[in-house]
């Protein structure tokens, strides 16, 4: 499993128009489901006359935590295309909302699917997308005379040192992306008596 994911750095917005209807797309970085309600309520106060506030979100990297909502549009014509656009751009920890103002002409389900997809895409393209890593804290316990080897390994792998202790043995807590845990073990495999523990 990968230990990195893409997510928007900050909220962004886009706009798609079709036959008088306006579709305002919004993208928000989120960390959990509890943030979603506040964003939706804020958009409803910004767009009180809009007919629909359709949305989808994705959380985590295992592709299991997602949801979409058509908010009164025909089933599958709004939330699902929004969600599929998040999937196609391979971004997560993201809420996408499309606010629709009806222009008087029915677009039909294919037209709606396209409009919700395009409004979402427009907002994503306007966003600055960043790649983040999934990290763990690793404790390295070693003898004093192994300090240089451990510090050299930290520099080589560009590890972020969070804490150092000097008790009966030396200890180091580093924050490391998950795929580097095996690299730490490999780098220090020549030294006996070094303990490596994910905490």
Could you list the residue range(s) of the whole structural domain that residue 184 is in?
Answer: 134-198
Give the confidence band of 3 by pLDDT, cuts at 50, 70, 90: confident
Q: Flag whether pLDDT at 61 surpasses 80.
A: yes
Report the domain count for the chain: 2
- What is the model's pLDDT at position 126? 97
Query: 174 Cβ partners below 8 Å, 6+ apart?
Result: 137, 138, 140, 154, 159, 160, 161, 162, 184
Q: Flag whether pLDDT at 75 surpasses 90.
A: yes
Give the confidence band of 137 by pLDDT, cuts at 50, 70, 90: very high
- What is the model's pLDDT at position 1? 52
* CATH classification at residue 59: 3.30.230.30
The answer to whether the CB of 105 falls within 8 A of the CB of 19 is: yes
pLDDT above 70 covers a percentage of the chain that reads 99
How do residues 99-130 score in pLDDT, each as one tens digit?
999 998 999 999 999 999 999 999 999 999 99
Question: What angle (nearest 5°) sits at the alpha carbon of residue 60, between those of residues 56 and 65?
Answer: 50
**What is the rounded average pLDDT for all residues in the chain?**
93
Q: Are residues 158 and 186 in the same domain?
A: yes
* CATH classification at residue 186: 3.30.70.260
Three-state secondary structure call for residue 91: strand
Q: Flag whether pLDDT at 2 surpasses 80.
A: no
Q: Are residues 82 and 54 in the same domain?
A: yes
Question: What angle (nearest 5°) sits at the alpha carbon of residue 11, between those of residues 2 and 16?
Answer: 105
Rounded to two decimals, the pTM is 0.80
- What is the model's pLDDT at position 41? 96
Q: Which of 116, 132, 148 is the last residue of a domain?
A: 132
Rounded distance, CA 22 to CA 103, Å? 7
- Tell me the average pLDDT across 174-199: 88
Give the number of other CB atoms < 10 A from CB of residue 138. 21
């Amino acid at each position: 499993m990968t230990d990195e994911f893409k997510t928007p750095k900050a909220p962004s917005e886009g706009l798609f128009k079709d036959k008088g209807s306006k579709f305002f797309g919004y993208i928000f970085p989120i960390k959990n489901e509890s943030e979603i309600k506040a964003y939706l309520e804020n958009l409803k106060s910004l767009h009180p006359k809009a007919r629909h506030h359709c949305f989808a979100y994705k959380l985590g990297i295992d592709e299991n935590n997602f949801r979409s909502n058509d908010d009164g549009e025909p089933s599958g014509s709004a939330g699902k295309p929004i969600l599929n656009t998040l999937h196609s751009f391979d971004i997560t920890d993201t809420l996408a909302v499309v606010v629709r103002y009806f222009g008087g002409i029915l677009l039909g389900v294919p037209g709606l699917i396209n409009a919700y997809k395009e409004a979402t895409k427009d907002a994503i393209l306007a966003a600055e997308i960043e790649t983040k890593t999934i990290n763990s804290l690793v404790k390295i316990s070693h003898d004093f005379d192994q300090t240089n080897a451990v510090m050299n390994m930290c520099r080589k792998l560009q590890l972020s040192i969070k804490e150092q202790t000097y008790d009966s043995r030396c200890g180091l807590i580093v924050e490391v992306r998950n795929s580097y845990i095996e690299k730490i073990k490999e780098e220090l495999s020549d030294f006996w008596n070094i303990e490596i523990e994910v905490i």
